[in-house]
Structures are given as C-alpha cells and as structure tokens.
Amino acid sequence: QVQLVESGGGLVQAGGSLRLSCAASGRPLRYYTMGWFRQAPGKDREFVAAIQWSSGSTSYGDYVKGRFTIDRDNAKNTVNLQMNSLKPEDTATYYCAANPKGGRGSKTSEYTFWGQGTQVTVSS
C-alpha cells in the first residue's frame, strides 16, 4: 500500500501561483510513476502531469504545458506541482496518484493509489 496526502491548495487570483505537494509513504517509489490529476464539478477527472520517479522524466496535459511543473524530492518522498499563471478554468480538486507499473501514466486507469485531493480555486 502507498498512502498519499496532498497539501497546498487554496484560493488564488487569476495569474497567481500555487505549489501543491504530495507526501507519499508505505513503499519505496523507485519504480513508480507519480501523477497529478484534477476534477472539476460535473467533469471527468483529467490528467495534469506525471513524473517517473527513477528517471525524473515528465509529461504534461495539453492544458497546463508551459505553466505547470512537476518535480519530486527523493529525500522527503514528495512529489510537487508548481502551478503558475493560473486561470479560472484551472479550478478543480487536484489529486495525487501512484502508478506502480511506471510508464508515462496519463490515464486514470493506470494508477492504483490515490490521495484525498486538495481544492484549488482560481478567481477571475
């Protein structure tokens, strides 16, 4: 089992920034892909970003390319999402997830473990 706890959400004005963190515990993440997804009310959960723990290779959803950056901290066993130039359409609950099989991980079905989510609200 992997336990994931997100933090860092909140209310921010359009154009502002937030940094989300996901603390992982339970198993070594060496061969995992860690991902961030988001879900707005009435919409499907969508891919935001992913990072392969061992290589550091990253991938991003089209909506966030150039604005969001995912990274990991090996010492703290955390994965972070730096969100810049936020837009009202970025408003959603953001979820951290762990994929034990690795890969680029852009589909929710690839992820086994999920956090409870953290709310991000961007005002116009």
What amino acid is encoded at 106 in this protein?
Answer: S
Closest CA to 23 of 43, 44, 46, 3: 3
Identify the band that residue 68 occupies on the pLDDT scale cut at 50, 70 and 90. very high
What is the Rg, in whole angstroms, of the alpha carbon atoms belonging to the chain? 13
Q: Which two tokens stand for residue 50?
A: 């992913």
Average pLDDT in the 72-90 region? 95
Q: Which residue has the higher pLDDT, 28 or 92?
A: 92
Please determine, for residue 27, whether its predicted confidence score (pLDDT) is greater than 90.
no
For the cut 80, the answer to whether the pLDDT of residue 104 exceeds it is no
31: left (phi over 0), alpha (psi -120 to 50) or beta: alpha
Inform me whether the pLDDT recorded for 70 exceeds 90: yes
